[in-house]
Structure 1
Amino acid sequence: MRSRLTPALAVTGLLIAGCSSMPAHDSARESPQPASHATLAWSACPDGVENPDAGPPRLRCATVPVPLDYRDPDGQQLDLTISRLASTKPEARRGSLMLNPGGPGGSGLDQPIFLAQRGIPQELQDSYDLIGIDTRGIGHSSPISCGFTSDVAYYGAVPPYAYDERAFEEQSATAHTVAERCAANDDGRMRHVTTANMARDLDRIRAALGEEKGNYLGYSYGTALGAAYASMFPDATDRIVLDSNIGDTHLDRDGMRRYALGMEETFPDFANWVAARDARYGLGNTPAAVRESYFRIAGKLDRDPVDGVDGRAFRLGTFVSLYNPASYGATADSWRTMRDREPNDAPSAITQAARQMDNNWSVFLAVTCNDVKWPTDPDTYRRAVEADRQKYPLFGAAAANIMPCAFWQIDQTEPPVAVDDEGPTNVLVVQHQRDPVTPHHNGVQIDDAFGGRSTLLSVDGSGHGVYGLGKNPCAQDVITDYLVDGTMPEHDRTCPA
């Protein structure tokens, strides 16, 4: 899922995490490409990258050829589309900063403009050309498709809440259908849409930009890609910031299940906010009462959907709304609507999104299912659903539910990338203490894996995404100081609220 998500009920590839269930490489290192002296052909970006109503275009775009299969570097090539928001102060410019918004499956061409609009410091924009990227398979970079249509009630990157055995069996059948559809629509490219190959692509982009070393800022799934990049090409990387971490270089079942932990840790911030405004929303005047309203409304919608929203979509929408405290008011309003409105037969809010999200969901599945092998026995997921429904009642029976990866039919090309703890101390790990999808545990986990190469910046705050997306001045300053001046905190640090 992208780090900029709004509380929509139908969501794209979100953010992910994990620990491998199969051995990783002993060494992830590969030889970097020499910096190119050729000039990229920058031109107007594709329609839709920038809003024409916002004024003259500020971005320029170019394409970078990369091998489809790095084992055959001179074979079939893919054209990756990248964007650039150029520094306007040559005397201050120190290089290029490659960006990733998350996913896997999030288009990144507009990310330089998005971050500039969110108010990232001008000194950062002066110091770098900001580079947006559509990673392989997404958007304008040789897009892939599983062929999603509205006939499949698929929930994208997060499986639906299995409120009973029938709901689990329904999701199992859907997951199987989706896996078959992905295999049927594969033209041979899908197996090569992996985090390892995307990290190799970053090194090619770095070289094409003429940079001796690469700088990188990644959010959510972008932290997995950044961790892989820093591990595979440690000596060709300069300043790396991993913001809102999934905990490794890939997503696996344990990482997905930690979504439920993140929601339990973050929900009290929302509940406190709503309880303090009980006169307006009437959802409870204590956090406990607000929590009870959540279960009561979800149970009602499990039985009788309202406006196309059933209990599964309601839980998913609430989960996503916790990404950004600015969404709390709209979420509380929607709760009131779901509580008070009579059941009706409106079309499902989930199935309406399928065709629109086809490319995003296809990339999410390709990367997630290709990176690491998932359990194939449905009973493994059934037992996890029952356990996590009790342990994490807000969202456990969703995060533990079965995925199409259980039925994946596309051969895996290589094991997941191993985190390399030997190399430059150049990785700044940034993590809110309360994050619904990437809990603080994940930041600690990846920081431990990098050992002396990384420093952990914990932020006493709530939501998904810190730099430019959060409101903590201390955190913004620490990250800017590192990216602009190279000042890494001497020790792990916590920024107070």
Structure 2
Amino acid sequence: MQRRPLVPLLAVSVMAALAPALAAAPATASPSARSTPASAAADADPLRPYARQKPVWGKCGVGTPAALRCATLKVPLDYRDPGGKKIDIAISRLKTSAPGKRHGVLLSNPGGPGGPGLEMPLELERQLPRQVKGRYDLIGFDPRGVGRSTPVQCGLSPEENVLLRPLRTFDKNVALARSVADKCRAKAGDKLPHITTRNTARDMDVLRAALGERKISYYGVSYGTALGAVYTQLFPRRADRFVLDSAIDPKLMWRGMFRIWAPEAERAFQRWTKWTAARDATYRLGDTPAEVGKSFWALVARADRDPIVIDGVPLDGAGVREQVRPNLFTVRDAARQVVRLKEAAGGRAKAQDLPEPPPEPDVSATVSVVCGDSSWPRDPETYRRDSIRDADRYPLYGDFASGVLPCAFWDRPVEPATEVNNTVPALIVQNEWDSQTPLVTAQALHGQMKGSRMVTVDEGEGHGVYGTNPCADFAANSYLATGKLPAADVTCRATPGERRATSSLPAPGPLG
């Protein structure tokens, strides 16, 4: 890509793309800003110093490959007050090995909200084919409030470090949610209103400008799709080649994204019972869907009477439901898990040689984004009523999905939720059976991004498509390499219950 002179480009692009962020409404690029005389632009653009930063690249840390370089940028805590408090944004870069073929930069986000992304370029370098990664400098970053980017840390106890809980402990859930909100306010009250998806998108545009790029390309998975979609809405002229993998519906951010897990789990449960009944000789859970369903609910009832111990962890009925729900979308995994629960309930469970599970990620930054992006009901009784109703409608997970979160006790968001409605080109890739971001949410985003194309993996299982299906990979790689979207939406094929390739791309956070 032919790079234009750095300073003149930044002086114009930042005024055009970032200055509207000073208003409470989301920022958009303003064509009229380009006609402003240079002297007036300097006076009118308080964000210009941020855009003119020159990253100082150095080692990322002990054990990190030398090729991955890190730097720190300053951004406003509050874009309505650019001259006020500043925060750090940690960024990383893996430069292309083929500078003569370089098209630009490929930013990335691994999911969350609350997932760190500094090492994402290393993961992409392993996944991307040569003809794609040679076209880009791969750029990672820790979103504001996460990792090395002025982290939000509320000092939560292990009991508080959980988002979704069952109805039976509702009064305790309310107390814990209030405690989390109070702790976060006490520890990070000045930051909380500004740890949002919109501001992270604005940080991405400061990063773009500081790198001297007219546009950015982007790969985002799960929550990263929401971040990418919001960026295209705020800065449509700065978006180049965007691949959104396992997509969130911006209109459901965020309570709706949790609540949609309940009806989708019921659909997955019905599919799973049919698949498992057809394989009764293997799993012995019943030779009809109804019998398989009875086997599962008998385990739930058994666990409520006497917890089932798996790997030293006792599970009551709610614990069984919570653990099984995401696996239902991958039918073979769920069948094996339920068989193991049944064996454990009968005292026949075999010892498992399992790796030490990673510690639970701190949900402080996750809660900050989820509560800061949009308004939530303030009355705890709203959550109680919804949980009771949804537990009846969707017995597998309805009470979890509609439960009370700290957002009920959070301060009101400082901005309205971002409405995504644009014609920016993008490629959305989605498995049909995704436990975290269901197919319907990707279809909704596709409708809101009218310039997008969608690749659906029919009967595809698992969260995160890239690196797991050759057909979907071909579409994504072709787009990243050439900038040409498919002429129409694409349907790829998968076989339910097949062993799928495991993507090495991380997907932390409740939504992945």
Aligned counterpart in structure 2 of residue 92 of structure 1, from 101, 104, 125: 101
Aligned counterpart in structure 2 of residue 335 of structure 1, from 322, 329, 341: 341
Give unpaired runs (5+ residues) of structure 2.
1-22, 34-46, 350-356, 495-512
Deviation at 1:233, TM superposition (A): 0.3
User: Is the contact made by 2:221 and 2:245 (CA closer than 8 Å) also made in structure 1?
Assistant: yes
- Secondary structure of the residue aligned to 2:455 is strand
C-alpha separation between the residues in 2 aligned to 1:419 and 1:486? Answer: 22
- After superposition, what is the alpha-carbon deviation per residue over 1:93-152, rounded to whole angstroms, capped at 9, x for unaligned? 2111111111111111222223444x33232222222222210111111111121113x3
Mark the CA change 1:121 to 1:315 in structure 2 (over 3 Å): closer, same or farther.
farther
- Secondary structure of the residue aligned to 1:41 is coil
Given the alignment of the two structures, is residue 477 of structure 1 paired with residue 485 of structure 2, yes or no?
A: no
Q: Which amino acid aligns with 2:129?
A: P
Mark the CA change 1:80 to 1:303 in structure 2 (over 3 Å): closer, same or farther.
farther
C-alpha separation between the residues in 2 aligned to 1:330 and 1:101? Answer: 28
Deviation at 1:455, TM superposition (A): 2.1
How do residues 99-114 of structure 1 correspond to structure 2 at under 5 angstroms?
A: 99-114=108-123
C-alpha separation between the residues in 2 aligned to 1:111 and 1:323? Answer: 26
User: Is the contact made by 1:97 and 1:129 (CA closer than 8 Å) also made in structure 2?
Assistant: yes
**Residue 441 of structure 1 corresponds to which residue in structure 2?**
440
**Residue 79 of structure 1 corresponds to which residue in structure 2?**
88
**Residue 425 of structure 2 corresponds to which residue in structure 1?**
426
Deviation at 1:294, TM superposition (A): 2.9
C-alpha separation between the residues in 1 aligned to 2:172 and 2:342? Answer: 29
Aligned counterpart in structure 2 of residue 314 of structure 1, from 306, 311, 320: 320
C-alpha separation between the residues in 2 aligned to 1:274 and 1:59? Answer: 46
**Residue 491 of structure 1 corresponds to which residue in structure 2?**
488
C-alpha separation between the residues in 1 aligned to 2:292 and 2:183? Answer: 41
C-alpha separation between the residues in 2 aligned to 1:411 and 1:183? Answer: 12
Q: Which amino acid aligns with 2:256?
A: D
RMSD: 3.1
- After superposition, what is the alpha-carbon deviation per residue over 1:395-416, rounded to whole angstroms, capped at 9, x for unaligned? 12211111111121x3421111
User: Is the contact made by 1:266 and 1:463 (CA closer than 8 Å) also made in structure 2?
Assistant: no
Q: Which amino acid aligns with 1:72?
A: D
**Residue 379 of structure 2 corresponds to which residue in structure 1?**
377
Aligned length: 444
Q: TM-score, normalised by structure 2?
A: 0.78
Q: Which amino acid aligns with 1:133?
A: F
Given the alignment of the two structures, is residue 135 of structure 1 paired with residue 154 of structure 2, yes or no?
A: no
Deviation at 1:456, TM superposition (A): 2.4
User: Is the contact made by 1:99 and 1:217 (CA closer than 8 Å) also made in structure 2?
Assistant: yes
User: Is the contact made by 1:240 and 1:426 (CA closer than 8 Å) also made in structure 2?
Assistant: yes
User: Is the contact made by 1:281 and 1:336 (CA closer than 8 Å) also made in structure 2?
Assistant: no
Say which is worse superposed, 75-84 or 217-226, in terms of deviation: 75-84
Q: Which amino acid aligns with 1:457?
A: V
C-alpha separation between the residues in 2 aligned to 1:173 and 1:487? Answer: 52
- Secondary structure of the residue aligned to 1:145 is coil
Deviation at 1:74, TM superposition (A): 2.7
Mark the CA change 1:342 to 1:326 in structure 2 (over 3 Å): closer, same or farther.
closer
- Secondary structure of the residue aligned to 1:436 is coil
Deviation at 1:213, TM superposition (A): 0.1
User: Is the contact made by 1:25 and 1:416 (CA closer than 8 Å) also made in structure 2?
Assistant: no
**Residue 244 of structure 2 corresponds to which residue in structure 1?**
242
Given the alignment of the two structures, is residue 121 of structure 1 paired with residue 143 of structure 2, yes or no?
A: no
Q: Which amino acid aligns with 1:222?
A: G
User: Is the contact made by 1:283 and 1:336 (CA closer than 8 Å) also made in structure 2?
Assistant: no
Give unpaired runs (5+ residues) of structure 1.
1-23, 51-55, 344-351
**Residue 60 of structure 2 corresponds to which residue in structure 1?**
45
C-alpha separation between the residues in 2 aligned to 1:153 and 1:290? Answer: 35
User: More relative contact order in 1 or in 2 (CA 8 Å, sep 6+)?
Assistant: 1
How do residues 71-470 of structure 1 correspond to structure 2 at under 5 angstroms?
A: 71-117=80-126, 119-150=127-158, 152=159, 154-156=161-163, 159-162=164-167, 166-248=168-250, 251-267=253-269, 271=273, 278=280, 281-305=283-307, 306=309, 307-321=313-327, 331-332=337-338, 334-336=340-342, 338-341=344-347, 357=360, 360-408=362-410, 410-421=411-422, 423=423, 425-451=424-450, 453-460=451-458, 461-468=460-467, 470=468
C-alpha separation between the residues in 2 aligned to 1:329 and 1:85? Answer: 41
- Secondary structure of the residue aligned to 1:136 is coil
Q: Which amino acid aligns with 1:316?
A: E
**Residue 15 of structure 1 corresponds to which residue in structure 2?**
none
User: Is the contact made by 2:269 and 2:328 (CA closer than 8 Å) also made in structure 1?
Assistant: yes
- Secondary structure of the residue aligned to 2:169 is helix
- Secondary structure of the residue aligned to 1:308 is strand
User: Is the contact made by 1:214 and 1:239 (CA closer than 8 Å) also made in structure 2?
Assistant: yes
C-alpha separation between the residues in 1 aligned to 2:208 and 2:217? Answer: 9
Mark the CA change 1:382 to 1:327 in structure 2 (over 3 Å): closer, same or farther.
same
User: Is the contact made by 2:283 and 2:336 (CA closer than 8 Å) also made in structure 1?
Assistant: no
User: Is the contact made by 1:171 and 1:402 (CA closer than 8 Å) also made in structure 2?
Assistant: yes
Deviation at 1:323, TM superposition (A): 6.8
Say which is worse superposed, 124-133 or 280-289, in terms of deviation: 280-289
C-alpha separation between the residues in 1 aligned to 2:147 and 2:301? Answer: 38
**Residue 21 of structure 1 corresponds to which residue in structure 2?**
none
Q: Name the % identity.
A: 40
- Secondary structure of the residue aligned to 2:145 is coil
Mark the CA change 1:338 to 1:73 in structure 2 (over 3 Å): closer, same or farther.
farther
C-alpha separation between the residues in 2 aligned to 1:326 and 1:94? Answer: 42
Deviation at 1:161, TM superposition (A): 2.8
C-alpha separation between the residues in 2 aligned to 1:328 and 1:273? Answer: 11
C-alpha separation between the residues in 2 aligned to 1:246 and 1:293? Answer: 33
User: Is the contact made by 2:161 and 2:363 (CA closer than 8 Å) also made in structure 1?
Assistant: no
C-alpha separation between the residues in 2 aligned to 1:239 and 1:399? Answer: 34
User: Is the contact made by 2:51 and 2:206 (CA closer than 8 Å) also made in structure 1?
Assistant: no
Q: Which amino acid aligns with 1:312?
A: A
Deviation at 1:63, TM superposition (A): 1.4
